[in-house]
Amino acid sequence: MCGIAGFWGRASADGEIAERMAARITRRGPDDAGVWTDANAGVALAHRRLSIQDLSPAGHQPMRSPCGRYTLVYNGEIYNHLDLRAELAAEGGAFDWRGHSDTETLLAALRHWGVAETLARLNGMFAFALWDAREATLFLARDRMGEKPLYYGRNGDTFLFGSELKALTAHPRWQGEIDRDALALYLRYNHVPVPHSIYRGIAKLPPAHVVAIRDGGRSIGEPQCYWDLPRIAEAGVARAGGTADELTDELDGLLRDAVGRRMATDVPLGAFLSGGYDSSTVVAQMQAQSERPVKTFSIGFHEPGYNEAEHAKAVARHLGTDHTEFYVSADEARSVIPHLPTIYDEPFADSSQIPTYLVSRLARQHVTVSLSGDGGDELFAGYNRHVVGPGVWARVSRLPPGLRRFFGRLLDLLTRLGGVPNIGRVPQLRDKLEKLSRAMAAADGPGFYRDLVSHWADADEVVIGGGFDRTVLHRTAMALPGLREQMLLMDMLGYLPDDILTKVDRASMAVSLEARVPLLDHRLVEFAWRVPTAYKVRHGQGKWLLRQVLYRYVPPALMDRPKMGFALPVGDWLRGSLRDWAEELLDASRLRQQGFFHPEPIRRAWTEHLAGKRNHSERLWGVLMFQAWLEAA
């Protein structure tokens, strides 16, 4: 795992500038640093290395091809790189290998097959920049599911790229202007969705895309998709089938191979273990292929409703792992908050960013690589919205739009006044009913989904001068047969890369830990789309098929319990120990002076939250994380 950065402009390339850009992301690669420049072309590439495969200098980057035509900087891991070496040899390629790093394999593949064919062959997580001196072209590419980040764009007269925004802002000609449309999107989803970034003119390269830059960095091509997930989903659903036993066997085999490939490393290896289905499945597959106890890590909280450590310990005991747990106090968790703007680099407001960072920090004390169970919910329908949402929409959508809006307002009023039974004893129920009341007015199923996952649904009225730009969730043609399938696709295109994988990448890289996500092996993703929906959601539960695989390794009695998630009592903290901090950032005069937000709706939400009338913690956390980021920028 590493960090990459670079630029291309009219002025001659300055290696010191590139070095400063990479120094901003040293945490991504503390073991080695390198810079390469082409003074005539004005190109500079920089790299920070976290040594994982081939710890020798043979893995140093930027890496230049023997012919001198290509120069590569690369962040990630190619899990099939030994297979690729065998394929290159079979095709008669004469390669004098200097070491056994996957970087060298990737560069040789790009030289031999070209960019398009190489991307089709890769199994891994990656973001890379390839300079082709003969064609005077810079290629940027990102992995299929978006595990590794890549920002790029023109700033003034210079083209910039990097793993994180902080690398771009280190360029001396940087002029950052906040994109108010992106800010409105952020406030709605609590992250800035692809292809936007918080800065105007700077984009995130979408997952599974490659872009070519030419003409001294002035010509930026249209990003080209090399693995079309919507089409893969449509084709998979069209030919879905198989018996439960057949699919369980196939999934077990695919998981074993995906996990096994991600266990290959020259440094200490472990896994995050929350005790949930996804991480338990990954750890079970690891332990089944390991000759010694796998190192597993979990964190616990003293608040009962937020603690899964006991479940993780029970799974670890059953599987026989070398388990480490750490109970975090509220003060220790809150102490992370001042560092979040630097860790996440652009506004990001999924509060589970805190425990994700804490478990990464714990694991890094013992290992350099940790496997994660992320992705199971998106592949196999694990969220409540996947299980309950389609049925709710099927009933609600029968009503005329006007009547839906009326009942939505009525439900919202009853929720506010406490007119729904047991709502006071189940705060999560109130949150879900508030979202449902807004979503009832949606025009169609995808709109219903977007409203369910929105926080400030009226964010364009909160952000001064901001309006909603269309995201991938609006542009994707929904040719899938049912809302559940559509929800899964939208999650894979949006929430998964923009929230979940961003969270994991930044939290792990902040402590120089490489996190690998075996459930997002593209073969598993393609398989999941061939699984009939009836084998994903069954008997009112999601992830049915994944559960059947896990039950081969862990007894159901150890696993069957309500989904808890990776949350923190942020709402209580905002009324208590974080109140003064939040009050300062949400001060009306301060908001007016900054000129990004209309203070009135924010202050109204803050007042209602403090009074206990409603739980606005998710909405307020989004504003607070932007305010904290703005203060640190």
Report pLDDT for 458.
87
Residues 222 and 245 in one domain: no
Assign residue 493 the CATH number of its domain.
Answer: 3.40.50.620
User: Where a domain ends, among 211, 227, 243?
Assistant: 227
**Residue 25 is part of which domain span?**
2-227
CA distance 439 to 431: 13
User: Where a domain ends, among 204, 227, 250?
Assistant: 227
515-553 pLDDT, tens digit per residue, is: 999 999 999 999 999 999 999 999 999 999 999 999 999
What is the token pair recorded at 125? 């997580």
Between 552 and 469, the more confident residue is 552
Residues 61 and 153 in one domain: yes
Integer CA distances (angstroms), 114 to 45, 119, 121, 140, 204, in order: 20, 9, 11, 13, 23
Nearest to 63 by CA among 15, 103, 105: 103
Q: How many domains are contained in the chain?
A: 2
Q: State the pTM of this model.
A: 0.94
Give percent above pLDDT 70 in the chain.
94
195-251 pLDDT, tens digit per residue, is: 999 999 999 999 999 999 999 999 999 999 999 999 999 999 999 999 999 999 999
3-class SS at 270?
Answer: strand
**The amino acid at 595:** G
Residues 81 and 159 in one domain: yes
**15 within domain boundaries:** yes
**222 within domain boundaries:** yes
12-53 pLDDT, tens digit per residue, is: 779 999 999 999 999 999 999 999 999 999 999 999 999 998
Write the DSSP assignment of 143-165 as a string of letters. -SS--S--EEEEETTEEEEESSH
**616 within domain boundaries:** no
97-117 pLDDT, tens digit per residue, is: 988 899 999 999 999 999 999
CA distance 215 to 10: 10
Residue 67 annotated as catalytic: no
> CA quadruple 114, 119, 123, 127: dihedral positive or negative?
positive
Report pLDDT for 471.
76
Q: Tell whether the model's pLDDT for residue 416 goes beyond 80.
A: no
147-190 pLDDT, tens digit per residue, is: 999 999 999 899 999 999 999 999 999 999 999 999 999 999 99
CA distance 100 to 107: 12
CA-based R_g, the chain, Å: 24
- Taking residue 446's Cβ as centre, other Cβ atoms within 10 Å add up to 18
Q: Tell whether the model's pLDDT for residue 400 goes beyond 90.
A: no
Nearest to 118 by CA among 87, 73, 149, 161: 87
CA distance 585 to 311: 37
**359 within domain boundaries:** yes
**Where does the pLDDT of residue 428 fall: very low under 50, low under 70, confident under 90, or very high at 90 and above?**
low
**462 within domain boundaries:** no
**619 within domain boundaries:** no
Question: Region 427-451: what's the mean pLDDT?
Answer: 77
Residues 6+ away with beta carbon under 8 Å from 632: 341, 342
586-633 pLDDT, tens digit per residue, is: 999 999 999 999 999 999 999 999 998 888 999 999 999 999 999 998
Report pLDDT for 424.
45
| Three state DSSP letters for 304-359 | HHHCCHHHHHHHHHHHCCEEEEEEECHHHHHCCHHHHHHHHCCCCCCCCHHHHHHH
Residues 146 and 7 in one domain: yes
**566 within domain boundaries:** no
Residues 174 and 241 in one domain: no
Q: Tell whether the model's pLDDT for residue 422 goes beyond 50.
A: no
Q: Are 440 and 411 in contact (CB under 8 A)?
A: yes
Residues 6+ away with beta carbon under 8 Å from 533: 240, 381, 482, 484, 485
Assign residue 141 the CATH number of its domain.
Answer: 3.60.20.10
User: Where a domain ends, among 535, 559, 583?
Assistant: 559
Q: Tell whether the model's pLDDT for residue 314 goes beyond 60.
A: yes
CA angle centred on 356, ends 350 and 357, rounded to 5°: 105
Residues 197 and 242 in one domain: no
Q: Which residues of 20-59 are buried (b: 16+ CB within 10 A; e: fewer)?
A: bbbbbbebbbebbbbbbbbeebbbbbbbbbbbbbbeeeeb
**388 within domain boundaries:** no
Residues 500 and 363 in one domain: yes
Residues 312 and 189 in one domain: no
Residues 171 and 254 in one domain: no
Residues 49 and 184 in one domain: yes
Marked catalytic residue, from 2, 5, 141, 212? 2
Residues 290 and 353 in one domain: yes
Residues 211 and 339 in one domain: no
| Strand pairing category for 295-301 and 322-328 | parallel
